[in-house]
Structure formats: C-alpha cells, structure tokens
Structure 1
Amino acid sequence: MDIGILRGLGTILVFAAFIGVVAWAYNSKRQSAFNEAANLPFADDPEPVSHNQQVSRSNQE
C-alpha cells in the first residue's frame, strides 16, 4: 500500500463521517432541539417599536 491509497481511504473515511454528522443533524427526533438552539440569539431582542408609537413620542417632545 502506497501513500496515495492511504490518502484516498482517509478521504473516504472523512467523507463518510461528514455524511453521518449531516444525517444525525437532520434526524427528526432532534430537529426541534436544533431549531430552538438556532433561535436563542433572538430570544433577548426587544420588541420592535411600531411607527405609530414613534410618531406619538416625537409629537410629545
């Protein structure tokens, strides 16, 4: 076995591991947990101020 065959086998092994991780991530049992984690950065965002509230605030000043 020369180095080219070993590198080819290593590439196939890494590709198979990548496909395994992708399949695991899209597993329907865990999908809701991933969706919840994906929305965590937006959990602390303040509610947007509507245009009417902005106009009434500027008129009061």
Structure 2
Amino acid sequence: MEKTQTKTGLSVAVNILNKVYKTGRKVADNFKTTMQIVFDEYLPKWNYRAVPQPG
C-alpha cells in the first residue's frame, strides 16, 4: 500500500500499529457527554474522530 501512487503524484503514507486491541470494550459512561464526534466530509461512515471537550 505504501508504494501506491496516482497518475498525478499523490502518494500514500502507511503506519502499522503492532498492538493487539481488545474487542468488546465498553466506553466510559460519560463518553457521549465529554467527547464530540466529528465526522469527516469524505466517507463519514469510515472517517471520524472523538475530540475531548475542554474543561
């Protein structure tokens, strides 16, 4: 994937995380009140991030 490039020169950067993540973990009870979920404009079903609220 790292060697992928478009005709116009757009290239891809790849980072591999060698960590095993536990499945089925539950979020903290106050997660929805303390985190803002920001969906990306392009492919929002796949690209989003949780942003902590100040204070």
TM-score of Structure 1 vs Structure 2, range by shorter chain: under 0.3
What TM-score comes out, normalization by structure 2 length? 0.17
Larger radius of gyration: 1
Query: Structure 1 or 2: larger strand share?
Result: 2
TM-score normalised to the size of structure 1? Answer: 0.16
Q: Identify, as 1 or 2, the structure richer in helix.
A: 1
Considering Cα pairs closer than 8 Å and 6+ residues apart, tell me whether 1 or 2 has the greater RCO.
Answer: 2
